[in-house]
Amino acid sequence: MANLDKTSVRQELDRVKADFEALRTAGKVTPESLAVMNSLFMIVELILAIFLERTTRKDNRNSSLPSSQTGPDDSALVSGSQGKGKRLDKRNAVNSRTVETVSVSTVSTCEVCGESLTDVPCRHHERRTKIDIVFEKVVEHVDAEVKTCPVCQTMVKGRFPDDLAGPLQYGDGLKAFATNLLVGQMVALNRVQQLIGAMMDTVIAEATLLNWVLRCHQALEAWEQQAIEQLLAAPVMYVDETSLRVDRKNQWIHVYAAGSVTLKRLHRKRGKAAIEAIHIIPRYGGVIVHDCWASYFAYEDCKHGLCGSHLLRELTFIVDAHQYRWAKNMKRLLQETCVQVSKKEEKCLSDRELANLQKRYRATLTRGEKELPPIPPKPSGKRGKIAKSDAHNLWERLKTHEASVLLFARHPAVAFTNNRAEQDLRMAKVKQKVSGCFRSEDYAHAYCRISSYLQTMANKGYNPLTAIQLALAGKACE
């Protein structure tokens, strides 16, 4: 398909409209022709707007498409920012140990003249260090004594430890290692089986590995209830949803994040039915930050904040497709406000600054209304909605949800973006990419709960192996 010069098309249409306006001013256009041409110009403007959007390439810069599908982002909105990452807890897992040795390389003779240096004192040492891993299988046998009472002839047996319920048991360290590989590192089940077999020369059945995952899932039930209570008490909560293949069908992971807590729940629906079933937002009275999904706005007991990153990407697409001045100005206004708020110690604007922001915001939308092509009236008797361009839809959303768009400038605890929730969901897409889907819904629910726990503990700086062992020991809520 030939390239389309958007600027020249717009200029040509403006020239035709200017020529027609000159003929109308000179009285050379009949009223009937005027009505027909005005309707024709309105239709052409609408068709051109939609056509330009359809022919504009979308990528991760101007849409929600991931960079894995569109290539690298060479023009990031904010450059030079580097994440500091999470500070892990320095405590190691309870079954880990470090064996450290120091050896001395002695000098006995001079390499130049051959003089003996045996009795010469050492001036200082130069150290070089090597760190390595030696895999070691620890087998612990417990022999219980069996005795016969000489008085009553009763056979008495010694007590085994509580973690030895059967003839052969695996320790929590091995269970934590396998669970972290399956859930945290998203390694395929057969690969985990092969890796453990190579490390300890013992093949563990896949069913046993999956049972360890289910056991960890059950052990975290109380922790999940505690996490829900913490979310309900938070002033701001970040929510999002993404699809996940389960038993060859599409289901949805809903994420709720606030503070250091991350909670993911699986449901077969995406909208209000899922929100009601999970029953977190209906009980919440703070601020929820989301990407303008309509189902969230049905809950009026909480305030709403919209993700600025989504809006900036959509505005970028509108600029790429149409070169609208109002879209450029709105994008610049949101970016400048974000920087202004981030530099303030109180993380919000003053009343005067907020009033000025609202004035500029509304003025930009007013100019945008004049710049957008008009929408023709809906014919009588026709069903459905009138087709609108993405530019029209975005303009209407910005006008309708002004308070939600600018909430980050008024509320110090509300972030400009919903990146927290989106980052918590990102690994679920990696899991689907690696594994394809879950065969059973039980393991999909287990993945959501365990990964929520691991992400929460990572936010607190815990070693994942330590976190899983705490969960298996019944101490996850501490």
Return all residues near 9 (Cβ < 8 A) that are at least 6 apart.
48, 52
The pLDDT score that the predictor gives to residue 1 is 41
The pLDDT score that the predictor gives to residue 326 is 95
Residue with token string 């889907």: 437
Structure confidence by residue, pLDDT tens digits, 201-254: 888 999 999 999 999 999 999 999 999 999 999 999 999 999 999 988 999 999
Question: What's the distance, Cα to Cα, between the start and end of the chain in Å?
Answer: 62
The pLDDT score that the predictor gives to residue 334 is 96
Overall residue count recorded for the chain in this entry? 478
pTM for this structure?
0.78
Q: From residue 189, give the alpha-carbon distance in Å to each of 172, 204, 210.
A: 18, 11, 9
Scanning 374-440, the segments in alpha helix (DSSP H) are 390-400, 402-405, 407-410, 419-435
Of 327, 335, 338, nearest in space to 365 by CA: 327
Q: From residue 407, give the alpha-carbon distance in Å to each of 226, 334, 348, 361, 411.
A: 29, 12, 9, 13, 6
- On the CB side of 460, CA atoms within 13 Å amount to 18
Tokens, residue 119:
């009795």
Return all residues near 366 (Cβ < 8 A) that are at least 6 apart.
none
Q: From the CA atom positions of the chain, what is the Rg in Å? A: 32
Tokens, residue 420:
């927290």
The pLDDT score that the predictor gives to residue 416 is 95
Q: From residue 86, give the alpha-carbon distance in Å to each of 89, 93, 240, 260, 461.
A: 9, 18, 22, 11, 6
Looking at the predicted structure, is the pLDDT value of residue 333 above 80? yes
The pLDDT score that the predictor gives to residue 83 is 41
What is the chain's mean pLDDT, rounded?
85
The pLDDT score that the predictor gives to residue 340 is 95
Amino acid present at 400 = T
Structure confidence by residue, pLDDT tens digits, 362-382: 999 999 998 888 877 776 767
pLDDT category at 348 given cuts 50, 70, 90 is very high
Backbone φ and ψ for 194, nearest 5 degrees, come out as -70, -40
Looking at the predicted structure, is the pLDDT value of residue 90 above 70? no
- On the CB side of 440, CA atoms within 13 Å amount to 8
- On the CB side of 40, CA atoms within 13 Å amount to 10
pLDDT category at 103 given cuts 50, 70, 90 is confident
CA–CA gap between residue 432 and residue 67 (Å, rounded) = 16
The pLDDT score that the predictor gives to residue 353 is 95
The pLDDT score that the predictor gives to residue 92 is 56
What's the helix, strand, coil split of the chain in %, to 5? 50, 10, 40
Question: What would the mean pLDDT of 170-196 be, rounded to a whole number?
Answer: 91
Residue with token string 């990964």: 451
Of 328, 404, 401, 326, nearest in space to 370 by CA: 326
Structure confidence by residue, pLDDT tens digits, 411-456: 999 999 999 999 999 989 888 888 778 889 999 999 999 999 999 9
pLDDT category at 14 given cuts 50, 70, 90 is confident
Question: What would the mean pLDDT of 295-317 be, rounded to a whole number?
Answer: 94
Structure confidence by residue, pLDDT tens digits, 48-88: 666 666 666 666 666 666 555 555 444 334 434 344 445 55
Inter-residue contact 326 to 364 (CB < 8 Å):
yes
Scanning 152-269, the segments in alpha helix (DSSP H) are 172-179, 189-200, 206-219, 221-233
Per-residue DSSP letter, 281: G
